[in-house]
C-alpha cells in the first residue's frame, strides 16, 4: 500500500515537473523559423531579471519580469514570466507565463508577449491576463529602462499590460558595404603583395640572388626613384641651382698689373 502511494506521488511530481519549462515556449504548435530566430536573438538576455514599481494612489505595485525564465524557482515555479506584487498586502498575481509566448518584431523593436496569466476578477470578461514587453533598439546597452506603460483593462476582451525596455538585441545587424574605391585599393594591395612575394621567391630560388638583389626588378625601381627625385627637384625648387665653379680659368681680371715697360732704351740716340 505504501509503495502504491509513493508511486502515485512520484508520478504527480513528475507530471508537474514536465509542465514546468525553463525557456520561452511559443504558443503556436508549428512555430515559424522567423519566430524561433527572434527567440534566439534574446539569448543574451535569457534569465535576466528586471523590476519596476508603479504607484497608484495609496497602492504600490512591483512588477518582476524574467526573460524566458521563471520568476519563482523550485517548487513554487509555475512558468510565471512576469508577476505583479501588491506591496501593501503582498498579494502576488501572475500576469504572463513563458510556456505561452508569442514574439514579433519590426525594424528596430521586438514585441515579446507572455499569455495565460491569472484571470481577471471582473474586468475583460474574466479572461487570462497578458503581458506585452516592447523591447526597443538601443546600441549603447544590453538591457535597461524596464518600465510599465499602462494596463489596458477597460475593454470587453483582449486586455493587456504594456511594458517597455531598451536593449541592443532589438537592433538590426549592421551590414558592411565597401565602396568601389575601397575594393580597388584592396585589389591593388593584393596584387602588389603577390608581385613582391612572388618576385622575391623567384629571385632567391631560381636566379639565386642575394641581399637587395632579391627584390624583383630592383634596377628598374632604383632608376624610377632617381627619376622621381629629379622630377621633384625640378618642380619643387624655387630657385635655380647655383654651383661653385670647380675650375676657374685665368682671365685678364685675375692678372695683376704688370709694371709699365719702358722701351726708351730702344730708341735711337
User: Grid coordinates standing for 2?
Assistant: 505504501
Q: What is the pLDDT of residues 57-73, one digit of tens each?
A: 888 999 999 999 999 87
DSSP states along the chain: -HHHHHHHHHHHHHHHHHH--SS--BSSSS--HHHHHHHHHTGGGTT-EEEEEEEETTEEEEEEEETTS-SS-GGG-SSEEEEEEETTTTEEEEEEEEEEEEEEE-SSEEEEEEEE-PBPSSGGGGPBP-EEEEEEE-TT-SSEEEEEEEEE-SSSS--EEEEEEEEGGGSPPPPP---HHHHHHHHHHHHHHHHHHHHHHHIIIII---GGGGSTTHHHHHHHHHHHHHHHHHHH-SS------S-----GGGSPPPPPPP-GGGS--
Give the chain's radius of gyration (CA, Å).
45
Q: What is the pLDDT of residue 142?
A: 95
Residue among 24, 41, 52, 81 nearest 168 (CA): 41
What domains, with CATH codes, occur in the chain? Answer: 19-170 (2.70.130.10), 180-237 (no CATH)
How many other CB atoms are found less than 10 A from the CB of residue 71? 22
Rounded CA gap, 126 and 118, in Å?
9
Confidence grade of residue 11 (pLDDT, cut at 50, 70, 90): very low
Phi, psi angles (nearest 5°) of residue 74: 75, -145
Mean pLDDT over 103-107 rounds to 93
Q: What is the pLDDT of residues 148-188, one digit of tens each?
A: 999 998 888 899 999 999 999 999 887 767 788 888 899 99
Please name the helix (run of DSSP H) or strand (run of DSSP E) that holds residue 229, with its range, or none: helix 218-236
Q: What is the pLDDT of residue 1?
A: 41
Q: What is the mean pLDDT of the chain?
A: 81
**Whether residue 241 has pLDDT greater than 80:** no
Q: What is the pLDDT of residue 189?
A: 93
**Whether residue 21 has pLDDT greater than 80:** no
Confidence grade of residue 54 (pLDDT, cut at 50, 70, 90): very high
**Whether residue 119 has pLDDT greater than 70:** yes
**Whether residue 9 has pLDDT greater than 50:** no
**% of the chain exceeding 70 in pLDDT:** 78
Confidence grade of residue 216 (pLDDT, cut at 50, 70, 90): confident
SS3 of 221, please?
helix
Q: What is the pLDDT of residue 132?
A: 97
Confidence grade of residue 40 (pLDDT, cut at 50, 70, 90): very high
pTM of the model: 0.61
Confidence grade of residue 253 (pLDDT, cut at 50, 70, 90): low
Any idea which of 33-47, 113-127, 208-222 has the lowest mean pLDDT? 208-222
Rounded CA gap, 223 and 210, in Å?
20
User: Grid coordinates standing for 150?
Assistant: 499602462
Q: What is the pLDDT of residues 220-235, one digit of tens each?
A: 887 877 888 777 877 7
Amino acid at each position: 500500500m505504501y509503495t502504491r502511494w509513493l508511486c502515485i506521488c512520484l508520478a504527480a511530481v513528475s507530471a508537474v515537473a514536465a509542465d514546468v519549462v525553463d525557456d520561452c515556449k511559443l504558443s503556436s504548435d508549428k512555430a515559424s523559423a522567423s519566430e524561433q530566430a527572434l527567440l534566439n536573438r534574446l539569448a543574451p538576455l535569457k534569465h535576466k531579471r528586471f523590476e519596476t514599481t508603479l504607484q497608484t494612489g495609496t497602492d504600490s505595485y512591483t512588477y518582476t519580469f524574467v526573460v524566458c525564465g521563471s520568476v519563482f524557482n523550485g517548487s513554487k515555479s509555475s512558468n510565471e514570466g512576469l508577476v505583479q506584487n501588491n506591496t501593501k498586502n503582498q498579494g502576488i498575481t501572475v500576469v504572463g507565463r513563458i510556456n505561452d509566448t508569442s514574439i514579433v518584431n519590426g525594424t528596430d523593436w521586438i514585441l515579446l508577449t507572455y499569455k495565460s496569466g491569472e484571470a481577471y476578477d471582473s474586468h475583460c470578461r474574466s479572461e487570462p491576463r497578458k503581458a506585452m514587453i516592447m523591447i526597443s533598439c538601443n546600441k549603447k546597452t544590453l538591457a535597461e529602462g524596464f518600465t510599465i506603460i499602462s494596463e489596458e483593462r477597460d475593454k470587453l476582451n483582449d486586455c493587456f499590460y504594456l511594458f517597455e525596455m531598451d536593449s541592443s538585441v532589438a537592433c538590426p545587424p549592421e551590414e558592411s558595404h565597401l565602396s568601389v574605391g575601397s575594393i580597388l585599393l584592396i585589389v591593388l594591395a593584393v596584387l602588389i603583395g603577390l608581385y613582391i612575394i612572388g618576385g622575391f621567391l623567384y629571385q632567391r630560388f631560381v636566379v639565386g640572388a642575394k641581399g637587395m638583389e632579391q627584390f624583383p626588378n630592383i634596377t628598374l625601381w632604383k632608376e624610377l626613384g632617381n627619376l622621381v627625385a629629379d622630377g621633384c627637384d625640378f618642380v619643387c625648387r624655387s630657385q635655380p641651382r647655383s654651383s661653385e665653379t670647380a675650375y676657374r680659368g685665368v682671365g685678364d681680371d685675375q692678372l695683376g698689373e704688370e709694371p709699365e715697360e719702358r722701351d726708351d732704351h730702344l730708341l735711337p740716340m
